[in-house]
Amino acid sequence: MAHYSSYNVRIILILTLGSLTYGYVLSVMSNTLGEPGFLSYFNLATDSAYASQVIGAFNGVLSAGGALGCVTVAWTSKRYGRKWSMNASAVVAVIGGAIQTGSVNAAMLIFSRFVIGWGMGMMAVLIPIFQAEVSPPGSRGLLVGQHGTWICAGDAIAGWIGVGTYYSSDKSFQWRFPIAMQCFFPLLLLVCSPWVPESPRWLLLQGRKSSAWEIVAKLHSNTKSDPDGVYAREEFHQMAKQVEMDSELWIGGGGVKQLITRPSYRKRMWMGFFTQYAAQSTGAMVIYNYMVTLYEDLGLSGGKVLMLGAAYVTVASACNFVCSLVMDHIGRRRLLLLGLCGCMVMLSIECIMFSQFGGTNNHVGNSIGVFVIFCFIFFYAGGIDATSYVYCSEIFPTHVRSEGMAWSMIGTFLSTILYVGVGPLALAEVKWKYYLLFISLTAIDIAVIWRWFPEASITKGLSLEEINSKFGDEVAVRLNDKDVKTMRTGMDFEGSGSSPAAHPEALEMKSQSNSTPV
């Protein structure tokens, strides 16, 4: 039983405006690098060495800002709440987009990229956390997986806008309009924010139990499958007891230092960071950020290059959605391994195509090269992209989820700073041989995940609280215990002859027998 309502789905979809922001910001410069007006305005068309340095800086500072955003939101989302942090990230993204739209020189453009990267990094951490904390266990892969789906949708929107503006006779409009569109999605998120409640798990951390219950009741109201709202009461009781127990253990154990000293937390911090690092070590961001260069190396040019880039991320969005549909059935680890293996094989074939046909007019060889690039994104988006966000957002306990997810996403941005930052120089000097690095790293990552990551079913179908037991931590209440199952039948509470929905306090009392740590 999904136990989610239209209210739940509405919140998830509003939150994906942050995902769209993240995807659009990531992609807009990839397409802009193919706009003649942009290249001529910033003097990037005549001096290839200067162009490589500037383009590398464009992409490097975005990731540096993203890393700062991760650190920022790790604190704000815990101190001020998920919703406040969401609005703050949107404001930062709008400011960065406005400065970038009005840039008159390379220095101003680079600074604006850092600012918008800061806002983007905050959203990259916050949105999947928020989505995970308002999603039921059985559908968490589907709902949180929308983050990856809509990131790629943002990529696709940026790509197709770039295709359209390429044919504009106004050279300034060619690149300023796509960049200005970066402000649209975070502005829309701010407008829609009144319809987004605070995370009930964060409210419980603040001791605001009644407010948290009101939200949980709405999130999981399902008059057809659960007319009495028993599931919502069970989940709320589990959430409240887990927060109480974890808070006591957190304070008693010495606070934040436990992220390093406590083995169960340390393991999850390592796993989250490695998952995001491994995703970037496939070379996905290098391929996408420098797709114009990649296609030119295959002998293609002009508007056709931008069309192929837009089609590439459109396929990615569709594959992410399919991934979200099957994730709750297949499991996270299995999808990660499938995606990594597929990316490694496809990138190996691509290197062969480059070595044999790169820069030539061989139609068949270049066509195969383009086809293999699309196969690469099929495996990346279908196995790794959405899965990595879901996995990292759900393996951490509520009271350290913001720190854990932030640390995981730092793995993305640090890897991107390295791989994308040196990309222009590497592709100019060693060309396709640069991709051999990612083939080698992916092979190592596959072995590490296969050997040291828990089995695929570790998080599938479990509540966020019950996942703790898989890492050796205590669980205050298990929803599948015998006494809790009995409550689902709608039997009388405290001899009143009424349903559980009429007496939420009865569930609290009868569930005490299940609150002993296991």
> What are residue 515's phi and psi, to 5 degrees?
-90, 10
For the 11-193+252-466 domain, the top CATH level (class) is mainly alpha
Question: Residue 491: its pLDDT value, please?
Answer: 34
Nearest residue to 330 (alpha-carbon basis) of 141, 122, 71: 141
**Which tokens go with 429?**
């000097």
> What are residue 49's phi and psi, to 5 degrees?
-65, -45
Integer angstrom CA distances of residue 233 from 219, 236, 313, 399: 11, 5, 41, 21
Nearest-angstrom CA–CA distance, 381 and 197: 30
CA atoms within 13 A on the CB side of 404: 28
Nearest-angstrom CA–CA distance, 341 and 19: 26
Q: Is the dihedral of CA 327, 333, 338, 342 positive or negative?
A: positive
Per-residue pLDDT at 501 exceeds 60: no
Question: Residue 365: its pLDDT value, please?
Answer: 78
At a CB cut-off of 8 Å and minimum separation 6, what does 20 contact?
Answer: 150, 151, 153, 154, 157, 185
Instruction: Over range 245-265, report the average pLDDT.
Output: 87
CB atoms within 10 A of CB 429: 11
**Residue 405 zone, left/alpha/beta (φ > 0; ψ -120 to 50; rest):** alpha
CA atoms within 13 A on the CB side of 268: 29
Instruction: Over range 275-292, report the average pLDDT.
Output: 87
Provide the 8-state DSSP code for 381. Answer: I
Confidence of residue 70 (pLDDT cuts 50, 70, 90): very high
What are 372-429's pLDDT values in tens digits?
A: 999 999 999 999 999 999 999 999 999 899 999 999 999 999 998 888 878 778 877 8
Percent of the chain with pLDDT over 90: 54
CB atoms within 10 A of CB 365: 17
Reported pTM: 0.86
Q: What is the crossing angle of helices 48-79 and 6-32, to 10°?
A: 160
End-to-end C-alpha distance for the chain, whole angstroms: 25
Per-residue pLDDT at 71 exceeds 70: yes
Question: Residue 462: its pLDDT value, please?
Answer: 83
At a CB cut-off of 8 Å and minimum separation 6, what does 511 contact?
Answer: 234, 237, 241, 477, 483, 484, 487
What are 346-356's pLDDT values in tens digits?
A: 999 989 888 88
